[in-house]
Amino acid sequence: MSAQRTWVRDKRLNIYHLILLLTIFNRWKAENERGNITISRRQMMKATLIASITTYHKYMNDLVQFGYIIYQPSYHPRNATVVRLVVI
């Protein structure tokens, strides 16, 4: 079963979770399907149209807890955060 079908069937996920997963997935595809990808919160929020930092972090943390991503935040403004999709 494809990852996208799994995401859609998971009743815990709402539109914010799905748009974050699809944005991460598209970034992963753009980076030639390598394991880890780098993201910035600002770019992710712009791409997903999530306006609140609190909302962004809530749904990213949910995705970690649900086992969809591994999220290694960078606490330095110039260093990117590393994300790995677990279910592909």
Side-chain-facing half-sphere of 37: CA atoms under 13 Å: 21
Residue-level pLDDT at 57: 94
- Give the other-Cβ count within 10 Å of 20's Cβ: 25
pLDDT digits (tens, 9 = 90+) for 67-82: 999 999 888 878 889 9
Q: Domain range holding 43? A: 3-85
Instruction: Give the separation between CA 75 and CA 7, rounded to whole angstroms.
Output: 28
The CATH code of the domain that includes 14 is 1.10.10
Amino acid residing at 22:
L
* Rg of the Cα atoms in the chain: 12
Computed over every residue of the chain, the mean pLDDT equals: 87
Give the integer Cα–Cα distance in Å for 33 and 54. Answer: 29
Q: Are 72 and 81 in contact (CB under 8 A)?
A: yes
Total count of domains within the chain = 1
Can you list the alpha helix ranges (DSSP code H) found in 1-88? 3-9, 15-30, 41-48, 53-65
What pLDDT, on the 0 to 100 scale, is given for residue 75?
82
pLDDT mean over 14-40 = 89
pLDDT for 32-73, tens place per residue?
Answer: 777 899 999 999 999 999 999 999 999 999 999 999 999 998
Q: What is the pLDDT of residue 1?
A: 45
The pLDDT, as a whole number, for residue 4 is: 59
